[in-house]
Amino acid sequence: MSETPAVTVDIARLSTGDADFEARLETLLAWEGVSDADVQARVDEILFAVRSRGDAALIEFTNRFDRLSVSTMGELTLDAERLERAFTDLPEEQREALAHAAERIRLYHERQKPSSWSYVEADGTVLGQQVMPLDRAGIYVPGGKAAYPSSVLMNAIPAHVAGVREIVMVVPTPDGVVNELVLAAAHLAGVDHVFTVGGAQAVAALAYGTESVPRVDKIVGPGNIFVATAKRAVFGQVGIDMIAGPSEILVVSDGGTDPDWLAMDLFSQAEHDEDAQALLVSWDARHLAEVEAAIARLLPTLDRETIVRESLSRRGALIHCRDRDEAVALANRIAPEHLELSVADPEALLPQIRHAGAIFMGRYTAEALGDYCAGPNHVLPTSGTARFSSPLGVYDFQKRSSIIHCSERGAATLGRVASVLARGESLTAHARSAEYRGTPEA
Amino acid sequence: MSETPAVTVDIARLSTGDADFEARLETLLAWEGVSDADVQARVDEILFAVRSRGDAALIEFTNRFDRLSVSTMGELTLDAERLERAFTDLPEEQREALAHAAERIRLYHERQKPSSWSYVEADGTVLGQQVMPLDRAGIYVPGGKAAYPSSVLMNAIPAHVAGVREIVMVVPTPDGVVNELVLAAAHLAGVDHVFTVGGAQAVAALAYGTESVPRVDKIVGPGNIFVATAKRAVFGQVGIDMIAGPSEILVVSDGGTDPDWLAMDLFSQAEHDEDAQALLVSWDARHLAEVEAAIARLLPTLDRETIVRESLSRRGALIHCRDRDEAVALANRIAPEHLELSVADPEALLPQIRHAGAIFMGRYTAEALGDYCAGPNHVLPTSGTARFSSPLGVYDFQKRSSIIHCSERGAATLGRVASVLARGESLTAHARSAEYRGTPEA
């Protein structure tokens, strides 16, 4: 039997120099949140039922899935007063922390508001774009163990800053358990009312409307596979934010950050759930070994040790690379949801980072600060979708209309060009419509 | 037998005062581009084949569906030189009209570029957002009768203005028929190369990549039901623009615009296809009758008379309303793709318009001018999705990363807040990660 103390930890160790590096990385990153045919069929059935039978179906599914026995939607509705009470009844420390976070999130998102604009051309033609908020937004908040008040702030505050007229929140209360912190956050974030429903049935109610639940224009917020499948199905009928995968972090370290800090940063990602992904890359091999030792030492001290062990062994990795450039290339290859640049001069790396949901710069910027209260949104593109998606923002709750106001002279010029192009496409009614304006008084 | 001249036209006549108005309007607007199980299954099969077998599958499907007999991807590839030749070989009038349109579209879209921004807080913490273009965009262009060079300009120019590194276009060439105007537009719009493939197989190639077709980050552009179904399926793997429904216009007239002009504006929408929707609303009953007479008189002079008759009878309507306010309410209710405000003072109505893809202001701004060359994009949200979607724009080819750079002092403050909130969510590794920074030197 070995006498070595058990400081080993079950986490992949990769090196960019390995022949099989790309294949192993690919396997590690692979994630497909595809719903199987069974889930799809059950979701379709729920969507159809709520669409055709409204409140009655919503109540039935809620009683069945959340183990309740209500008979009216009134019992599944919380008004603004109830939300405010949840807030004022909080312990002072929590109330202040929540209010502080809400205020910072609001300040950051106010900078994000796009404005309407227009310009006048020499002939008097006006072109522009008008920005308007959505009329009504729906916020999905998971119930049970994954009910996060911080997510309520992150989803609802951008909608409120955008000027959305009505913000409707849905949150299931399995076995009738209500999360007061979630309701308090809803109050702070400007939510107008809450329905305590969840799952595909809540998505259906928001997308189609029922007698009690108003139809919304966009549904945002995370959920389980039923919620994700339902959101994908109603996309087009309403807007949706994104289909979120498991949460992930890539930490780039130059070797100068305390290994304990980095270990805890990786843990903070891994503790979300067993599919969460925590990756560390460094060109300093000794440093990687130190972080590994810190992981082994600190793991037993964690409240969620079992989850963390599982996610680190399934999807975590310590990656040794050649140099900074290779670390940057890796970040762009992975396009992580969270990217921590735990280096002395993060500003130098920043312009080279093309794909990341959020970038946490320097040794002091733990991802956890951004998760709660730095200001930027914590709803971020996962599974490499930072290649083409952005953090949730005010822009998700607004839309634009093009403005075209042709002067008589402008229409004459444009009419001639449009006519030639329309005839090239054999769309002669287009051409004639343009020509009417193109030759005034003709 | 009646002696009355046949000036009747088959188009719905509605009045907002009718008891059944809302129900009839609902029926008229109803549109569900839902793919049936058969289409879904065929698309899934194609996606799987191209994903697993790459070029070989792409060539097979292309030979089968487009009735070709090629054996290499080289035969399905057009390089930049070929595109340029298409442009230089055009008749001068078309070349100039296309170049004029491209230039105006480029100028308009350059105003749309969002910028990166950041701000520094009192304690030295920096917050901001970095805007970056996508690496690679895929433009889907339909082949056959719906191959529109103007759509190539409208889809590719915003990508080019956004700074996308590589723009890949796919366009099927059924029976080997190549549209030179489409290739010329691709040259002007900055497309890097073209693959002459289409359908779900082209979407699969762009989403997953093959030996020859590079994987893109986002796929934009319209297509038939197979293309739309494939885009919905690969959404998440890549970004997509939207699932477009049939094209539509709502014209609001105060009675002062030439009825012939308005009839032709309605025709220009209706001539797209049998599902296109052309609606006119006015509070002037006599004017509506005049437009109806103009429709009856001009219909027989149209090149696409059959299509126009069909779409007007299936989905068109002349709507009488009480007053301007009711017309505005109707516009917001319908959230049309194209909204023509054919009134004396369109500026007075504009602030009340909450939902429309593009707004054409005044009597001289025919929709056709915007379709080709005014500058704003003609890819617009259809079927009421203007409630939550925007015109295609530069912003569709860029994405944002949040930037957080905490100073040591900033981290200490934020660390305390984050710690309270994380413990409220039972995420204690988050709390401890924040606390490490929250109490420096502890």
Q: How confident is the model at residue A79 (pLDDT cuts 50, 70, 90)?
A: very high
**Is A4 a residue whose pLDDT tops 60?**
no
User: How far apart (Å, rounded) are the C-alpha atoms in residues A238 and A1?
Assistant: 62
Nearest CA in chain B to A229: B233
Q: Answer whether B359 sits within 8 Å of A403, measured CB to CB.
A: yes
Q: Which residue of B has its CA nearest to A243?
A: B236
- pLDDT score at B78: 96
Report pLDDT for A415.
Answer: 93
What six digits make up the tokens of A125?
Answer: 């033609």
Q: Do B414 and A374 touch (CB under 8 A)?
A: yes
B425 is in an annotated binding site: yes
Distance in angstroms (rounded) separating the CA atoms of residues B64 and A107: 57
- Identify all chain B residues contacting A358, using CB atoms and an 8 Å cutoff: 401-404
Over 50: is that where the pLDDT of A308 sits? yes
pLDDT at B86: 95
Contacts of A55 (CB under 8 A, 6+ apart): A73, A210, A211, A212, A213
Which residue of chain A comes nearest to B355, CA vs CA? A401
Residue A364 has a pLDDT of 96
pLDDT tens across A191-227, in order? 999 999 999 999 999 999 999 999 999 999 988 889 9
Q: What is the DSSP string of A244-312?
A: ----EEEEEE-S-S-HHHHHHHHHHHHTS-TT-EEEEEES-HHHHHHHHHHHHHHGGG-TTHHHHHHHH
Q: Is A272 annotated as a binding residue?
A: yes
Residue range(s) in chain B whose domain bears CATH number 3.40.50.1980: 12-28+245-388, 54-114+133-240
Strand duo B117-120 + B166-170: pairing: unpaired
Residue from B382, B267, B327, B277 nearest B27 by CA: B277
Of A101, A308, A393, the CB nearest to B421: A101
Q: What are the pLDDT digits (tens) for A248-292?
A: 999 999 999 999 999 999 999 999 999 999 999 999 999 999 999
Q: Is residue A109 marked as binding? A: no
Nearest Cα neighbor of B433 from A279, A32, A368 is A368
CB contact under 8 A, B372 and A417: yes
Interface contact B217-A387, CB threshold 8 A: yes
Does the annotation flag B272 for ligand binding? yes
Distance CA A88, CA A85 (A): 5
How confident is the model over A411-431, as pLDDT tens digits? 999 999 999 999 988 999 999
CA distance A100 to A97: 5
Global model pTM greater than 0.90: yes
What's the pLDDT at B37? 80
Instruction: Tally A–B CB contacts below 8 A.
Output: 380
Whether the predicted pLDDT of A20 surpasses 90: yes
- Rounded Cα distance between B235 and A218, Å, is 17
CA distance A218 to A223: 15
Contact assessment for residue B367 and residue B340, using Cβ atoms and an 8 Å cutoff: yes
Contacts of B229 in chain A (CB under 8 A): none
Q: What CATH code would you report for B12-28+245-388?
A: 3.40.50.1980
A368/B433 Cβ within 8 A: yes
* pLDDT attached to residue B36: 77
In this prediction, residue A40 carries a pLDDT of 87
Q: How confident is the model at residue A243, as a pLDDT?
A: 78
Contact A426 B181 (CB under 8 A): no
Residues in chain B with pLDDT < 50? 1-5, 440-442
The pLDDT of residue B146 is 66
Q: Which CATH number fits the domain B54-114+133-240, given the four candidates 3.40.50.720, 3.40.50.1460, 3.40.50.1980, 3.10.580.10?
A: 3.40.50.1980
Q: Residues B424, B429, B434, B435: what is their CA dihedral angle, to the nearest 10 degrees?
A: 90
Least confident segment among A112-126, A200-214, A361-375, B34-48: B34-48
CA distance A146 to B304: 57
Q: Which residue of A has its CA nearest to B232?
A: A232
Catalytic residue, from A187, A338, A355, A378: name it.
A338
